[in-house]
Amino acid sequence: MSDSSDNPFSFGRKADRKPDKPADAAPPAEESESLTISQMDGRYSTMRPANKSLTRMHILLSDGTVQSVQYHHSDVKGTFKGGEFEVIFAGTKHWSVRVKGHGPKFWEIYDYITLHRWPYLREAIAHEAKFSGEEETVLTEIKILDVTPKPDD
C-alpha cells in the first residue's frame, strides 16, 4: 500500500497535520479592525481595503476631529459623479457623507465604501491638497450633513 502522502485524496496522518488554532486565540495584528490615528495617514495609493466587511468607518476632518459612521446604517443608495461622491447613513438620524477629491483611487475608495470594506477617510489639509501630484489620491473636502427627513408641518 502506498504512503498516504502519495494519495491526493488523503488527508494525511493525524501527526502530519498542523494543530488546530485554539478557539480563544487572538487574531494576528494585521487582521485586527483597530486603527491608530497615525495609521490613518491618508496615503490612499498604498492603502488596501479590508478583506472582509467592516462595522464602521472613521472620518478624519482637516481640523483634527474624528467622526465615525456605522456601516450597518449605510443606506441603499450612493452616488458617484466625477470628482465627488455621496453616501447616506440612515439610523435614528440620517447622515450624508459628501466627499470631493481626485486621483487614481478616488473611484476605488467609493466602491469599497459601498462594499463596507474601506476603514477611513481623511480630509486633506490645505497644503496637502495644493501640492499633491496626479499619482496621489487626495480628498479635498468632506462634509457630513444631517439629512434626517423632517415631518411635514
Q: pLDDT for 56-88, tens place per residue?
A: 999 999 999 999 999 998 887 899 999 999 999
Q: What is the mean pLDDT of residues 15-24?
A: 51
Q: Are strands 84-90 and 74-81 parallel, antiparallel or unpaired?
A: antiparallel
| pLDDT attached to residue 87 | 97
User: Three cell numbers at 37?
Assistant: 490615528
In this prediction the pTM is 0.72
Domain coordinates of the chain in residue numbers? 56-153
Quick one: what percent of the chain has pLDDT higher than 70? 73
Q: What is the mean pLDDT of residues 125-145?
A: 80
Beta-carbon count within 10 A of 49 CB: 16
Does the structure show a pLDDT above 50 at 91?
A: yes
| pLDDT attached to residue 112 | 96
Q: What angle do CA 82, 86, 92 make, to 5 degrees?
A: 175
| pLDDT attached to residue 132 | 57
Phi, psi angle pair for 120, to nearest 5°: -160, 160
